[in-house]
Structure 1
Amino acid sequence: MGGMAGVLAGLLPAGKAWAEDLKMGLLVPGSVSEEGWNRIGYNALKGVQEQLGATISYVELQQNPASFEKAFYDYASQGYQVILGHGFEFQDAALSVAEDYPETWFLISSSDIHEGRVIGLHTDTSQPFYLMGVIAAKMGKKAGLVGGMEIPPIQQAFEGFKNGVRSVDPDFPISEAYIGNFTDTTAAKEAALSMIAQGADFVLPNASGATVGGYQGIAESGADVRTFSIFSDFTPVAPDNILGLYVADYAQGVVEVVRGIRDGAPPEANVVFGLKDEKVMQFTFREDGPVAVPDAIKAEVAEVAAQIAAGNIQTHSN
């Protein structure tokens, strides 16, 4: 069924083959009810449904590569023309299944891949994290980074943060720890508390569903610890600590990629969203709370952001 849809797409005018029966599946590493990473994937799927009229479906999975392959196979065999694996961890399974379903498009979040119809969709989070690093070095004394697993998207984001810090003060101390999963909120909280106990006064958690635990630890440590809200608004969790918000409207980015695939104009390389893509990436300062970034630092950060968007500052090494 999926193969037949692909054949028709090659024979009919652009957009005609899928005008009535575009089907898209989503694989998420956890629950879409969680604020943060998994919810972003679900919002992308809903955007494709609402804007492109697609039939959609999603499956919630644990960290199990065998289940990733099965889910990809299930959707491809049921004629889903586009399947989004929402996370770098889905890349290998997609490459394996794509061998049997060459007419199906496999989109992989947080990936830089482009092999056949396996396409990476990557938001360059190192760019806003670079800005957070600049802020941390100008406002704090020591930074702490709490990651989920040591996978490229998180490592790249943290590299951006560290490069931002070093652009201000090469000797600024930074602690970094990974909890080894994306679900253990208690571990994320304990890692944040440990860093704070060792003097970190700017702490950033980046651990998908476990991220909220990091903010809980920050909040419990008092108002002297600063942080930035990432991916979703965690201000209700740490109202006295959050300086601003970074969000990526990844949903709209996915919609445009799928629209291009449907209309016969698929990506010719992996897709990278950054600060230059104003409709996708937003970096804003909080104006309504007890903590704030001074205006002079805001102005400096705005200039750095403009330089990054123009391609004049490299925020990560590759």
Structure 2
Amino acid sequence: MKKTAFSRRSLLASIFGLALAGMIRPDIAHAEDFKMGLLVPGSVSEEGWNRIGYNALKGVEDQLGAKISYVELQQNPASFEKAFRDYASQGYKVILGHGFEFQDAALEVALDYPDTYFLISSSSIHEGNVIGLNTDTSQPFYLMGVIAAKMGQKAGLVGGMEIPPIQQAFAGFKNGAKSVNPDFPISEAYIGNFTDTTAAKEAALSMISQGADFVVPNASGATVGGYQAISESGPDVRSFSIFSDFTEVAPNNILGLYVADYAQGVVEVVRSIHDGTPPTQNVVFGLKDPKVISFTFRDDGPVSVPEDIRAEVKAISDKIAAGEIKTDAQ
């Protein structure tokens, strides 16, 4: 026993000496203790929302040296709570629930793990160690609505589930279109999930058959079904890519891209937690954050947005960023 105790003391003394000599960096040791988990409502192999969450996790690993883990889940609140508890009980400092649907489970679990930060995507909450990270998608969708009303005759919006972030995005689109033409017709439908690509495709085709010539799907993993319908309907039906580039799915229909570099935004929030200065309120990314939100036009397609409309959209975007236009008013 004495020999073992002596060996342990010698080992500790050696480690301490190496640290003093600069051979073991304290920041590296700290980084190895910092762990982040991710909960996604589907597969990270799919382009779109789930992949964005995974990219955020990898960004934290690459830039902060954190240990990371993720779990793919179905739409089951009980599994959400279990996954949060599993990570928190294993000492994970940060857990990102990638979607508004994770909020209730996080609030329940957070009470038992006050030293863990629960980040919730697409949420406006801030209660203790539960912090919402919300990209104001109503802002870029407002710009899409302006373009649709100027270039089209009728629009269609296909959503996954009727939850606040998607409702907010669609409100922005409708407000943008109505700012151009108060009587511009817009149809709206929800498929009730984020995985059924066939349902998203059928909803989009139904809208197109009723005269919609500008269609935007917003249904996470199921979104690709909407773009398939748009592509199959010919170049007269137009859209914008959202979150990821779907140009290969609908090469003759995409007018441009709205991309949120949400991943880097998450990295910066996690960095603040890592450094001991966590956010004191919910985080909202918008057009004022050009490193996070990008809205660009496409020039290599059969149809493009005319220069005069682009200039007008740029002026509107600047006003939104300055807080002069409220985009999500119901």
Q: CA deviation at 1:105?
A: 0.2
Equivalent position of 1:3 in the other structure = none
CA distance in 2, matches of 1:131, 1:221: 23
Q: Secondary structure at the match of 1:19?
A: helix
Q: How does 1:184-195 map to 2 (within 5 A)?
A: 184-195=196-207
Aligned to 1:54: 66
Residue type of the alignment partner of 1:295 = E
Whether 2:295 is the aligned partner of 1:283: answer yes
Match of 2:122 in 1: 110
Note if contact 2:87-2:95 (Cα within 8 Å) is conserved in structure 1: yes
Task: Look up the match of 1:162.
Answer: 174
CA distance in 1, matches of 2:137, 2:42: 21
- The answer to whether residue 285 in structure 2 is matched with residue 263 in structure 1 is no
Describe the SS at the equivalent of 2:187: strand
Q: Distance in 2 between matches of 1:94 and 1:17?
A: 28
1:144 touches 1:204 (CA, 8 Å); kept in 2?
yes
3-state SS of 1:20 partner: helix
What amino acid is aligned across from residue 50 of structure 1 in structure 2?
D
1:10-49 residue pairs with structure 2 within 5 A? Answer: 18-49=30-61
Task: Give the corresponding residue for 1:132.
Answer: 144
The corresponding residue for 2:6 is none
Partner residue in 1 for 2:183: 171
Give the Cα–Cα distance (whole angstroms) in 1 for the partners of residues 31 and 50 of structure 2: 28
Counterpart-to-counterpart distance in 1, 2:306 and 2:291: 26
Q: What is the aligned-residue RMSD (CA, Å)?
A: 1.3
The answer as to 2:260 corresponding to 1:248 is yes
Give 1:18 deviation, angstroms. 3.9
| Structure 2 CA distance for aligned equivalents of residues 200 and 63 of structure 1 | 30
State whether residues 18 and 262 of structure 1, in contact with CA within 8 Å, keep that contact through their aligned partners in structure 2: no
Report the Cα offset of residue 264 of structure 1: 1.0
Unaligned runs of 5+ in 1: 1-14
Q: How many residue pairs were aligned?
A: 305
Q: TM-score, normalised by structure 1?
A: 0.94
Match of 1:202 among 214, 239, 253: 214
The residue aligned with 1:80 is 92
Structure with bigger gyration radius: 2
SS in 1 for 2:33: coil
Q: Flag structure 2 segments of 5+ consecutive residues without an equivalent.
A: 1-26
Name the aligned partner's letter for residue 93 of structure 2. Q
Identity, % of aligned pairs? 83
User: Could you report, residue by residue, the CA deviation over 1:237-277 in whole angstroms, capped at 9, with x for unpaired residues?
Assistant: 00000000000000100000000011011101000000000
1-structure distance, mates of 2:109, 2:139: 32
